[in-house]
Homo-oligomer: A and B are copies of this chain.
Amino acid sequence: MSLGGLLGEGSGAALQQVRTEPIQQRSAARLSGLLDAAAAVVDEVGFDRITTAMVAERAGASIGTVYRYYPDRVAVLHALHERAVARFRQRVVDELGASTLTSWWDAVDCVVTAFVGLYRTEAGFRIVNFDDRDGAPAADAVADADFFARRLADVLVNEFDLPSGDDLIFRLGVAVEMADALLARAFYSNPLGDERFIAECRLVMRDYLDRFYSPQALDLLATVS
């Protein structure tokens, strides 16, 4: 599968995001324009103060247009989130391709770098990342994290011979949660990201995974079995 495998065909739950698939070309621009507007607005007023009217106005469209494409307010935020995640995956792949990977650690480091990069450049990403929330069935925040953990696991297994299995996925899931929390914290007060938290995130990732997947740990595992 190689590294490109991280680019899934979509998140775990490929939900019915768009109401009407655009047929004429101009609509595609409208669609992403709406998302750009939503991203900008969410950055300015925050997650729950965003209104459909704001998004429409910012996008130079009317309320009706918003509802032509999205069934309701949160669907817009979902779509924004989906796009951000897609870009995140793409960035991870780019990052992985641009580096020479000598161990799984390099891959994990690339993921952190990609995440930090997105925080810095993607408007609204900070607000909507894995911690995305919506109504009761906000399952996809967790689902996304799990899905991503699964993909990453595939890469690590195939490229670096980590032992596959539920344990690996679980631990990557744990790592993702921790990284997400730490990086969110890093960007909470500092728009460019508090380097101290970012560095500590990398350190924690490595220490945590080293416990199970360092060469020594793997050797030990091999001799036992």
Contact = CB atoms under 8 A, between A and B. Distances in A.
Interface of A: 42, 46-49, 74, 126-128, 130-131, 133-139, 142, 170-171, 173-174, 177-178, 180-182, 184-185, 188-189, 196-197, 200, 204, 207-208, 211
Contact of A135 (B48, B136, B197): B48
Nearest to A126: B136
Nearest to A45: B136
Given A48-B135, A134-B47, A189-B142, A180 B181 contact: yes
16 contacts: A46-B135, A46-B137, A47-B133, A47-B134, A47-B135, A47-B136, A48-B134, A48-B135, A126-B136, A130-B133, A173-B185, A174-B185, A174-B200, A204-B208, A207-B207, A207-B208
Nearest to A136: B46
A214 to B, nearest CB: 13
A136 B127 CA distance: 6
Nearest to A200: B174
A185 B177 contact: yes
Q: Which of A180, A181, A182 gathers the greatest number of chain B CB atoms within 10 Å?
A: A181
Nearest to A131: B133
B135 A128 contact: yes
A178 B189 contact: no
Contacts of A130: 133, 138
Contact of A127 (B48, B135, B178, B200): B135
A77 to B, nearest CB: 9
Q: Which of A47, A178, A189, A200 gathers the greatest number of chain B CB atoms within 10 Å?
A: A178
Given A178-B178, A207-B207, 12 more contacts: A47-B135, A48-B74, A126-B136, A142-B185, A142-B188, A170-B196, A170-B200, A174-B182, A174-B197, A178-B182, A204-B204, A208-B208
